Structure 1
Amino acid sequence: MERRLDNSWVTFSAAFRDPEDTVLSSLKLTAPDGSSCDAQGNVEQLAGYQLTSTAVRATPFDTFGEEKPDSACITSPYVVATVDLGSNATVGTPIELRVVETPAVTNLDQLPEAFDGDPSWTDPATGKPTVTQGGTSFDDAPTLVPGSYADSIVQGETLTYQVQVDWGQQLNAQVTLPELDASHRGAAGGTPIANLRVYNPGRGEATSNDLGTGHNSQLAYFGDGRSVLSTVAGPVRVKNVTASSDAVAGAGLDGLYTVVVFVSKQPEGKSIPVPFRLDLGVSGTVEGAPEYADPLAASGAAEPSEEPTAEPSDETRGELSDEPSGSASGSSSSRSDDGGGFPVGGVLGGLAVLAIAAGAGVYLKSRSKA
């Protein structure tokens, strides 16, 4: 991936949704000299059709958290990404690769250090829930404000929601699943797993798995009583990239955070919608914003023309298909029994973004919103 800006920070992510349980063996980002910039390994998809993503970053910090502004990871003209979905992945499973490049941060010495420890839980303010409908991918997730919401989910389905989290703030997300009557428990065909994850704007995971509050981000949903999932992301700081905790390290970007709710599919389970409550809270003071280098001062950056060109040039036209790909924003009027469509070619934020999709599509059966 060639840099367009001098000393830019690069975030590379890989998202996938395999029909079966699978593990992304590794995602690596290296400099041209072979030195490691960042790596993630054994990223687990808990069950079939769960939307799963991970990200690696090239920043001025090495893998031990020490600032190295002259390292090849930040000064080289390009970085190399390596993706290994693993030998147990289903042949043809699509992978969405996404690159976000941002200008160099110029006030690192004035920014707060990485958050020390694990984030603590803060109860979101609750009220009468507003009915909403989650998306099925990063690209079609509705943008919500902090508050309480009502939705429903079927087995094997992934639902997505986004909320803005600024520098210095913390996201608290909670899902409450109800007690089911005997007939609905029987229709479950077993004990599905309920899971709650949070991803940052670069699609790296920022989920805290154990808050010490009597509930966490994953549980077996028996339906014989109320079940609560909760997780925290933040507080968001630039230097969180150096944190040892994955939950804290994932909270190193401001912007739209994606909350992902998933219930696994049981072989004999029926596609019966289960209502749930989603509470979202954003706490903390907005502070610690980075200052960026002027992108037009970067080597090879072109000055904008005074007048727009009538037609795009062959160079800017590229080789993209004329056909749209992925789920359009707001197109979540129907759902699928197996977790919804996989996002292909989606674009979200950043100064320079590249989205690449590989593999085959998945045939989906849709179900209407209950």
Structure 2
Amino acid sequence: PTAPVAAAAAALCVLAVSPGQAWAASADGPDGPAAYETAEGAKPVKGTAGSGDGPEISPGTYTDSIGRGEKKYYHVDLDAKSSAFISAVAAPEPGSRVKGVGEGLKIRLETVDGSECDGGTEPQFSAEGAAYPVADYATRLIGADDECQKAGAYLFSVEREGPETSDPGRWPLELRYMSEPGLKGGPRLLPGSPDSDEEPGDDETPAPVTSGEKRQAHGGTGFNDAGALAKGVWRDRIKPGETRFYRVPVDWGQRLNASVELGSANSPGEYPPTIYDGFGITAYNPARGRFEDDPFVSYTPDESAQAAVYTPTVDYTSRFDYSTNTPCLAGWHYLAVTVSPQLGKFFKSTAPLTLRVDVTGTAKAGPKYAGDAHAAGFGVSDEDKEQAEKGQNAAEGERSDSLRIVAYVGIGAGVVLILGLAVWTLTARRRAEALPGAPGTPGALGGPAGPGGQAGPDGGSGTV
């Protein structure tokens, strides 16, 4: 039985090291700025110019494209219990021409008779001449004072706005429909505002995190492959003209305080030029709703520069406060960092980024949902926190979870196998000892000599 036991042990060793393979280094990307990567498995759809025959979308992720001045319609069936968050991401190719202010998307959700829901948005580019992914959503919030509380058919639309001098090409479009479960007892039983460690109305941005060793971050091209960040100081590199995405778990009662620093470059002379809107950071909630602040700052190559965001407290009731344009939801919050292509004058390859991340406030119990909110994409789990500490993106997190399950199952099966082999070995030995003439038993050939050194009862030789 030695060989089977050795094989089982070798199998356990393989299982024990398998999870580490998820950290294999990826291949280097192309020389130019990386383009936005849409979600793997997203369903292609084609929105229509007329509202009567648009394709139907349900909770999930979809891909389409949109041309300059084009408006596209999609059909959505809503119930009377769940809140709907339907986002659109327009992702022009890096280096495309954009005007800046006044160019972007108009996102709407309305009833079939033309009554608009209150949650429409108009995300626009904040930096002159810098093309980067822009995103926001339209919402139907249960409990809001609008015409969209009933179950039935609704129209979701995305319109691309911009001057004739902007990029003539079609932009990839990613749509995501998230359905938030209703509350137990219905919208009348709204939760109270959770206690917060900050004073009400205290919107002054706290000082950024400064302590701790810098950890390596891995920014993604978009929401789908964004690298996770936990509290602390992180480092990464970015190409001029590129946007890198990161995600941070933020729970009920908490706020995200994040800043990004772009290091200095070799100065081209005594009076280096200033690049207005040189780089910036944009924050999004778990449903890809953009927070109002979208700061882009100037950059001068002989000194570093910093941009920062401070999101509102994650509070369910804040969605009904019209002073807050973006509902606060628990879950992954996203940070998009963009560097102007004009910085290519100073950085020939990549520029150094320092990200300082803090989550303030104490996590509180969330609202009592009537369904599984985390499965719908809302809330923070222990697995989310673990991924943030490891700096993993969503695919790496899922792979680690799968490998962990496989390892647990395999190790359990291996233990059972070894125990079975041990029992089999012991049983085989006992059976062998019980056979007549077996070595080591009375009367066996070559057994112990009889008294006085005489031959044993079996006729074996004793002492002469």
TM-score (normalizing by structure 1): 0.68
Asked if 1:235 is matched to 2:320, the reply is no
AA aligned to 2:191 is Q
What is aligned with 1:284? Answer: 361
- Once the two structures are TM-superposed, the CA of residue 113 in structure 1 deviates from its matched residue by 8.5
Deviations 1:124-175 (A, max 9, x none): 4332211222111111111121111011112101011101001110000111
* Structure 1 residues 294 and 263: CA distance shift in structure 2, 3 A: closer
* Structure 1 residues 76 and 6: CA distance shift in structure 2, 3 A: closer
Task: Please say if residues 45 and 52 of structure 1, whose CA atoms lie closer than 8 Å, have aligned partners that are also in contact.
Answer: no
Q: CA separation in 2, counterparts of 1:185 and 1:273?
A: 23
Asked if 1:8 is matched to 2:88, the reply is no
Task: Please say if residues 107 and 137 of structure 2, whose CA atoms lie closer than 8 Å, have aligned partners that are also in contact.
Answer: yes
Asked if 1:222 is matched to 2:297, the reply is no
What is aligned with 2:169? Answer: 91
Asked if 1:130 is matched to 2:224, the reply is no
Q: CA separation in 2, counterparts of 1:124 and 1:171?
A: 11
Asked if 1:102 is matched to 2:180, the reply is yes
What is aligned with 2:461? Answer: none
- SS of aligned partner of 1:79: strand
Deviations 1:112-132 (A, max 9, x none): 199964733123433221122
Higher CA-based Rg: 2
What is aligned with 1:81? Answer: 156
* Structure 1 residues 288 and 3: CA distance shift in structure 2, 3 A: farther
What is aligned with 1:144? Answer: 229
Q: CA separation in 2, counterparts of 1:232 and 1:27?
A: 24
* Structure 1 residues 54 and 166: CA distance shift in structure 2, 3 A: same
- Once the two structures are TM-superposed, the CA of residue 72 in structure 1 deviates from its matched residue by 4.4
Match of 2:114 among 23, 34, 38: 34
Match of 1:56 among 130, 135, 138: 138
Match of 2:336 among 250, 260, 263: 260
**Range with greater deviation from structure 2 (1-10 or 227-236):** 1-10
AA aligned to 1:208 is D
Task: Please say if residues 80 and 150 of structure 2, whose CA atoms lie closer than 8 Å, have aligned partners that are also in contact.
Answer: yes
What is aligned with 1:119? Answer: 203
- SS of aligned partner of 1:43: coil
- Once the two structures are TM-superposed, the CA of residue 42 in structure 1 deviates from its matched residue by 5.4
* Structure 1 residues 267 and 290: CA distance shift in structure 2, 3 A: closer
Between Structure 1 and Structure 2, which shows a larger proportion of helix residues?
2
Task: Please say if residues 141 and 329 of structure 1, whose CA atoms lie closer than 8 Å, have aligned partners that are also in contact.
Answer: no
- Once the two structures are TM-superposed, the CA of residue 176 in structure 1 deviates from its matched residue by 1.5
- SS of aligned partner of 1:150: strand
Which 5+ residue runs of structure 2 have no aligned equivalent?
1-74, 373-392, 397-464
Q: CA separation in 2, counterparts of 1:74 and 1:96?
A: 26
AA aligned to 2:139 is R
Task: Please say if residues 141 and 161 of structure 1, whose CA atoms lie closer than 8 Å, have aligned partners that are also in contact.
Answer: yes
Q: CA separation in 1, counterparts of 2:126 and 2:229?
A: 26
AA aligned to 2:338 is F
What is aligned with 2:265? Answer: 180
Between Structure 1 and Structure 2, which shows a larger proportion of strand residues?
1
Q: CA separation in 2, counterparts of 1:124 and 1:192?
A: 21
- Once the two structures are TM-superposed, the CA of residue 41 in structure 1 deviates from its matched residue by 2.6
Which 5+ residue runs of structure 1 have no aligned equivalent?
62-66, 210-216, 296-326, 331-370
Q: How many residues matched?
A: 284
AA aligned to 1:16 is A
TM-score (normalizing by structure 2): 0.55
What is aligned with 2:91? Answer: 17
Deviations 1:326-357 (A, max 9, x none): x9946xxxxxxxxxxxxxxxxxxxxxxxxxxx
* Structure 1 residues 113 and 130: CA distance shift in structure 2, 3 A: closer
Q: CA separation in 1, counterparts of 2:343 and 2:304?
A: 23
* Structure 1 residues 192 and 283: CA distance shift in structure 2, 3 A: closer
Task: Please say if residues 31 and 79 of structure 1, whose CA atoms lie closer than 8 Å, have aligned partners that are also in contact.
Answer: yes
Q: CA separation in 1, counterparts of 2:325 and 2:191?
A: 19
- SS of aligned partner of 1:109: coil
Task: Please say if residues 193 and 317 of structure 2, whose CA atoms lie closer than 8 Å, have aligned partners that are also in contact.
Answer: yes
* Structure 1 residues 32 and 104: CA distance shift in structure 2, 3 A: farther
Aligned identity (percent) is 25
AA aligned to 2:367 is P
AA aligned to 2:174 is E
- SS of aligned partner of 1:249: coil
- SS of aligned partner of 1:239: helix
Deviations 1:185-212 (A, max 9, x none): 9999966621111111111112535xxx
- Once the two structures are TM-superposed, the CA of residue 9 in structure 1 deviates from its matched residue by 0.4
Q: CA separation in 2, counterparts of 1:189 and 1:230?
A: 19
Q: CA separation in 2, counterparts of 1:4 and 1:128?
A: 48
What is aligned with 1:166? Answer: 251
- SS of aligned partner of 1:96: strand
Match of 1:200 among 276, 285, 308: 285
Task: Please say if residues 292 and 325 of structure 2, whose CA atoms lie closer than 8 Å, have aligned partners that are also in contact.
Answer: no
Task: Please say if residues 112 and 288 of structure 1, whose CA atoms lie closer than 8 Å, have aligned partners that are also in contact.
Answer: no
Q: CA separation in 2, counterparts of 1:242 and 1:90?
A: 39
- Once the two structures are TM-superposed, the CA of residue 75 in structure 1 deviates from its matched residue by 1.8
